[in-house]
Chain A
Amino acid sequence: MSFNTLTFITLCLLVPFSLTANDERVPFPGEKPRGLNLHALVGADIQVSPDTRIKKGVLLIRDGMIEKVEKGKKVPPGYRKWDMSGKTIYAGFIDPYLLTGVNSGKLLDLKHDQQHLRATAGLSFIGTPSTRTDPGEKGPGFEVSGVHPEKKGINGFQPDEEKWKNLRKHGFTIAHLAPSEGILRGTGPCVLLGQDNPNQLTLKEEVAQVMAFDPVGKNQSPPVYPNSLMGTLAVIRQAFFDVIHARETSLYIKKNPSSQPHLPHAGIRSLQKVLNDKEPFPVWIEPGSCLMENRALILGEEFGIHPVIIATGDEWRRPDLALSRNHSYISPLLFPALSKFPEDEDWEQVSLDQLRAWDHAPSNPALISKNSKSLSFTTSGVGLGEFHENLLKAVDRGLPEEKALAALTINPARICEIEQFTGTLEKGKMANLVVVEGDTYFDKKAQISSTWIRGSPFEYPVKDAGDEDGAEEANATEEKEPEKRTARFPHDDRKVIETPGSTLFTGFKLWTCTGKGILSDHDLLVRDGKIFAIGPNLKAKAPKDCKIVQSKGMHLTPGIIDCHSHSMILGRVNESTLPSTAMVRIADVVNSESINIERQLAGGVTACNLLHGSANPIGGQNAVIKLRLGQKPDEMLLQAAPSGIKFALGENVKQANWGDKYTSRFPQSRMGVKTFFSNRFTAARQYGVQLQQAKQGTGPPVRRNLELEAILEIIRGERLIHCHSYRQDEILVFLRTMESFGVRVASLQHVLEGYKIADEIARHGAGASTFSDWWAYKFEVYDAIPYAGALMHERGCIVSFNSDSSDHARRMNLEAAKAVKYGALSESEALKFVTLNPAKQLGIDKHVGSLEVGKDADLAVWSTNPLDYRAVCKQTWIDGHLYHELKRTREREKERAKERDSLVAKARKSLGEGKETGTSEEAKQKFFRFSLETACDLFPHSCRTECNHGKGARR
């Protein structure tokens, strides 16, 4: 299909089928003749647009369209006169994201539950040849579950009178029926919520390509790709690259006619509209969490897409990340509500985070409104019963009424691109109206007396507002000042403590982690984030405004580097479905909001290697980060770190301990693991050849394959392998297999039997990143010994100790001490196990890992010898900035406790005053629900325990 045709179709879609509501035909004899359809609404205040109001005006309707809006009460003859005095007329409300279909009304809920942790899949996926004939949806299209951009909600569209009745009653006249299933979900129509046939109700066939970061594969049993958040992003990327490939192929075929038919499937064709440069078809993304909103914006930039973002209501967690002034947002109005607890002490288990979420929620709409291009509201995820009440709460908390009104009318009209028909009460627009008793909708007592859809009224009985009790109550509420938000923003205190330009550490015992060993009574001068000088007395070299840190007997070491961590990963650590998931990227899901950052900074950790889990031989791409508390996920990345990828061998990848259901994925034995690697590396090499041919013009364009691309990067030496491994035989065979492809393995992770083949590992040049003393939790670690680190070191391997645990990561200095205990290493060598050596394994030792002039000033200050059990980390510095200081960290923790206490008091007061009565079950449950960013801290992951995946997350 040529682009012109596409454009033509797109243009056609912009025009609704029929603008006139009434047939102009002469009614048949016997048919009851309709009225003339001329209405005059007289005497009401008319809110023409959010900022224009006509006091006591007249609104004329002809054939469903607004004919005239003006001050006065002049009614031409023939019009049915409606006395509207004492009422206010607004433009009909529009729900821009009324989720329709299987998950009707349900917003994305990225949970981290047991189901979510389960794993497996067949071999079938985009990238690896399929063993199933049709792994995606039935019929042609993408071969991935949840990817069906070609689906059109308009097909099979039926008015849902049961539901619509209620929407109309609440003032809604139009809705975008957004699809609710899948990742690339397809499109839905924009329709009038009236009673008519579907042709008459349809305003627009397709509004936008709706996407959601929903790991839908997890819902199947056994799960299929993608069952992780990062997998979802890889799926979206690959789909777009498929579209680009189809385009390139069309161009190629034009130049090189072929007898082979080139027929992009419907999925690709529908996405081609999205990537159309001239008139891109809109994309809306429901990211499902605050941090993922940021990822959606970044993904948009990657592909030149400018998405509308569906907010979660959690934007207060990181407004700087979630919100963008260039983008429009749609927000639900679901606020968490308090429940009465049976016992006072039940409050003890309520966390600051839950209370903050409760207190921030009503302020969140104002926050979005201020920091975005536009805000619209949706009823999805909310009971309609609370919609008005919550809207008023949002207004109380600073959302200006005109913004709130715009969020119900003109803003959704604009993002749905129907503002030429509706959204205001201007002449020539459709007569979609909401008539409210009294002079404002923004009042607790406001009642909707009629909703008009294309000139047809739906009337509602109005309760008598004049009774006395009500009046008194109204007075009472008027006197009460609206409750202000008192909860702080998380990023108010989750940030760097101090950023001096230069700092002099004076009189310290310096653990250099270089040939110089441990230097007593030395100074270290930091300038502009780098180590500037080291020497016995550097006072003279220090600039005037230099910050001075006195030793007082303390020790200074390089910041600790953890070569194996899963502590700050959103969503899921494993894309556990396929045997190779080289296309998924941890960098997409770095959790900058994790509490583990603070806890590990307090243990002197400055950098860590965030790894995909070990559920498959070829896992996902890793991310090396510095623990720069408070910064964006992308700013936490250690930019100089070479790319890497997680591999794994042994019991986990052959699903040995996953239960009886998991016996059909290749590989199921160590024999197959080796076979699998050879297969994928051969495929990647061939992929490289094809790319080369395409580049030289001797072959057709090659579909960009994110899986093979990552493996090809390994072969080219551009991506480091970090391979989870246990038994000596599998390690040796793996090294040999990689050697046969000319690849050097950067680090063997865990490598518990590495001590048995230390010489071979050293000769290959792989680093060995092991546990200090874990063993016997699986059969393959029965031979693990705590002497392994020292033994491998003695035989010439670069050895590190890693945590693989958010707990151990808090005390890696003491893990290092075990290398002294088991194997009698010198203290200086032992500390290198958690500083310089992991830096070498990660390829970042030019920048971090030791105290040398020119290196990054990533430092830890210890109360005493860091290998001593009495040692406490007093300060942690990254890039010369202070991120942890015990005293300040304590103060921060006290402030949080104080804030929590005051929020508990506020919540209990609010409950006591009966303010929380009548809230829905959903709202009450929301109070107990964790955001994705916080839930991920509650379910720690460790590759050690992958064996129990089938049975959930327990140890």
Chain B
Amino acid sequence: MNKFATLTLLFSSLGGILAGQTVYRAKKIQATPTQVFQPGEILVEDGKIQAIGKSVKAPNGAKIIEWKDLEIYPGLISPGSSLGLTEISALRPTRDEREVGTHTPDVEAWVAVNPDSELIPVARANGITHAVVAPMGGTVSGVSGLIALDGWGVEEMTISKKVALHLWWPGHGITIPQPNSTGDSKPKSIKEQEKNRDRKIREIDEFFNQAEAYWQTKTSKAEGFREIPAWEAMLPVIEGKIPVMIHADEVRQIRAAIEWAAKRNFRIMISGGRDAWKLADLLAEKKVPVIYNHVFTAPVHRNLPHDLQFRAPGVLAEAGVPISIGLRLGGWSAAHQRNLPYHAAHAVAHGLSRSKALASITIEPARIAGVANLLGTLEVDKDATFIATSGDLLDIRTSVKHMILAGNEVDLESRHTRLYQRYDNRPVPQLK
């Protein structure tokens, strides 16, 4: 890419090409996980898809973009990340993904997204158009948001400020009582641990009871009502406006979460889901979506099959569980979001169908984020948000050539391409 082309791209990105109609012609369009147009065409106007098919009628004056050798896919959506919240995981000043306190429903993630994070263009360069950004820390850590990976400022980038309330389910396992292991933590007896876990689960219930009580006092305009920010933040959950995203890996956590949600009539999804495959039928029956973060997690025991976690998404999908695939949450994975498609791809080698794999990083996370009407597939009236690739999106050897985000061509340059260009052009140094 020469400097001039870079400049043009930059301008097009800044100015946008919203005006008018555009037709994109590609070798192949993966419109939905199961629908392929080969060749395919998309007509875009005002950032929306007007028509899509093997061929569309190009209106007079429409700009035609020929991507003869490229394949079009919907933009990829990360179902959970710290993108924009973390820059360098080892450096505290650059980390904003975790807050203190055990119950902080009034913490919102979108507010701390750094639009100029160098990590965002790097994720974008591999086809990620959107990311759910989630707060961490404590039992109720706050509310996640959905951001588009392009925009001038955080408000412009934020698609949804309230995706879900995040609840980190307490562990049900008996931990290992290690006597004097570090000196600072005395081992707890099994009895004590049992009490602890019961108490923690009761505490969750109690917290939501209190939230409900607050809601009742407020709606009934009862006397003595005082506004309390934390309870205010719980209202959308109590009113069923946003779901609860429950972070749970073990079977018992997941089962308890499902039972808890049924009792309260909450809409939930499970994030993590390491052992969810064992409850695949239950999850399918209750239609609880799972965000599976453990494709590359090692099996927890030596005796478990070496490829257990690779195979789990296949088992879940086979049972009919709506499944998204993501990286594990936290500062560490923020820099590696670009590998999202390869987490899904690895599951394909181990039993997940290709279409479910594609769904797990497009339409399923769109549903999780409550934006399936806009994103996740390429259908008429949805956002014109898609990418053009040199081949199968899931193949590592493939590269992403273009990104259109709500009708705008987005710059795929990044810190990485810039540095590559700079040093690729370094003259061979003279011997000293």
> Is B a genuine binding partner of A?
yes
Residues of A within 8 A of B (CB): 111, 113-115, 339-343, 345-346, 348-349, 351-353, 595, 598-599, 602, 651, 657, 755-756, 758-760, 763, 773-779, 782-783, 785-787, 791, 795, 806-807, 810-811, 814, 817-818, 820-821, 823, 827, 867-872, 889-890, 893, 896-897, 899-900, 925, 928-930, 934, 937, 940, 947-948, 955
Is A869 within 8 A of B183, CB to CB?
no
**A870 to B424 Cα, complex, angstroms:** 32
B65 contacts the other chain (CB 8 A): no
* Interface residue ranges of B338-352 to A (CB < 8 Å): 338-339, 342, 345-346, 348-350
B1 contacts the other chain (CB 8 A): no
**A929 to B180 Cα, complex, angstroms:** 12
**Closest partner residue, chain A, to B350 (CB atom):** A872
Nearest chain A CB to B377's CB is how many angstroms away? 22
Q: Chain B residues near A811: list those with CB within 8 A.
A: 346
Q: Chain A residues near B396: list those with CB within 8 A.
A: 814, 817-818, 820-821, 867, 869
Is B298 within 8 A of A352, CB to CB?
no
Q: List 9 A-B contacts (CB under 8 A).
A: A340-B190, A599-B298, A773-B339, A776-B334, A778-B89, A785-B416, A896-B303, A897-B303, A929-B176
* Interface residue ranges of B317-361 to A (CB < 8 Å): 330, 332, 334-336, 338-339, 342, 345-346, 348-350
Is B89 within 8 A of A111, CB to CB?
no
Is A934 within 8 A of B423, CB to CB?
no
**A867 to B397 Cα, complex, angstroms:** 8
If A115-B182, A893-B306 touch, does A759 touch B416 (CB 8 Å cutoff)? no
Is A787 within 8 A of B416, CB to CB?
yes
**Closest partner residue, chain B, to A816 (CB atom):** B396
B90 contacts the other chain (CB 8 A): yes
Q: Chain A residues near B429: list those with CB within 8 A.
A: 759-760
Q: Chain B residues near A871: list those with CB within 8 A.
A: 349
B187 contacts the other chain (CB 8 A): yes
Partner of B302 from A114, A353, A785 at Cβ < 8 Å = A353
**A810 to B305 Cα, complex, angstroms:** 13
**A925 to B172 Cα, complex, angstroms:** 19
B398 contacts the other chain (CB 8 A): yes
Partner of A937 from B174, B302, B424 at Cβ < 8 Å = B302
**Closest partner residue, chain B, to A782 (CB atom):** B88
Is B397 within 8 A of A777, CB to CB?
no
Residues of B within 8 A of A (CB): 87-91, 118-119, 122, 172-174, 176-179, 181-183, 187, 190-191, 194, 250-252, 296-298, 301-307, 330, 332, 334-336, 338-339, 342, 345-346, 348-350, 394-399, 415-416, 419-420, 423-424, 426, 428-429, 431
Q: Chain A residues near B426: list those with CB within 8 A.
A: 756, 759
**A341 to B193 Cα, complex, angstroms:** 10
**Closest partner residue, chain B, to A813 (CB atom):** B396
Is A785 within 8 A of B335, CB to CB?
no
**A820 to B431 Cα, complex, angstroms:** 31
Nearest chain A CB to B370's CB is how many angstroms away? 30
Is B303 within 8 A of A113, CB to CB?
no
**A599 to B308 Cα, complex, angstroms:** 11
Is A925 within 8 A of B90, CB to CB?
no
Is B119 within 8 A of A776, CB to CB?
yes
Q: How many A-B residue pairs have CB under 8 A?
A: 168
Q: Chain A residues near B306: list those with CB within 8 A.
A: 598-599, 602, 810, 889, 893
Classify the interface of chain B: helix, strand, loop or mixed.
Answer: loop
If A791-B424, A870-B348 touch, does A353 touch B303 (CB 8 Å cutoff)? yes
Given A651-B90, A872-B349, 7 extra CB contacts under 8 A: A113-B182, A342-B190, A763-B431, A776-B118, A782-B415, A814-B342, A820-B396
Q: Chain A residues near B419: list those with CB within 8 A.
A: 755, 783, 785, 787
Partner of A925 from B179, B183, B296, B349 at Cβ < 8 Å = B179
Is B395 within 8 A of A778, CB to CB?
no
Partner of A787 from B305, B395, B420, B431 at Cβ < 8 Å = B420
Partner of A352 from B87, B178, B187, B303 at Cβ < 8 Å = B303
Nearest chain B CB to A388's CB is how many angstroms away? 24
Partner of B305 from A349, A868, A869, A890 at Cβ < 8 Å = A890
Is A925 within 8 A of B420, CB to CB?
no
Q: Chain B residues near A890: list those with CB within 8 A.
A: 305
Partner of B252 from A345, A777, A897 at Cβ < 8 Å = A345
Is B176 within 8 A of A928, CB to CB?
yes
Is A111 within 8 A of B178, CB to CB?
yes
Q: Chain A residues near B191: list those with CB within 8 A.
A: 342
Q: Chain A residues near B307: list those with CB within 8 A.
A: 602
Nearest chain A CB to B412's CB is how many angstroms away? 13
Is B345 within 8 A of A869, CB to CB?
yes
If A351-B301, A785-B420, A925-B187 touch, does A820 touch B336 (CB 8 Å cutoff)? no
7 closest Cβ pairs, A-B complex: A352-B303, A869-B345, A776-B335, A817-B396, A342-B194, A787-B420, A351-B301
Nearest chain B CB to A717's CB is how many angstroms away? 23
**A114 to B185 Cα, complex, angstroms:** 11
**A342 to B394 Cα, complex, angstroms:** 45
Is B251 within 8 A of A345, CB to CB?
yes
If A114-B182, A783-B419, A785-B419 touch, does A776 touch B87 (CB 8 Å cutoff)? yes
**Closest partner residue, chain B, to A807 (CB atom):** B296
Q: Chain A residues near B348: list those with CB within 8 A.
A: 869-870
Partner of B178 from A821, A929, A955 at Cβ < 8 Å = A929
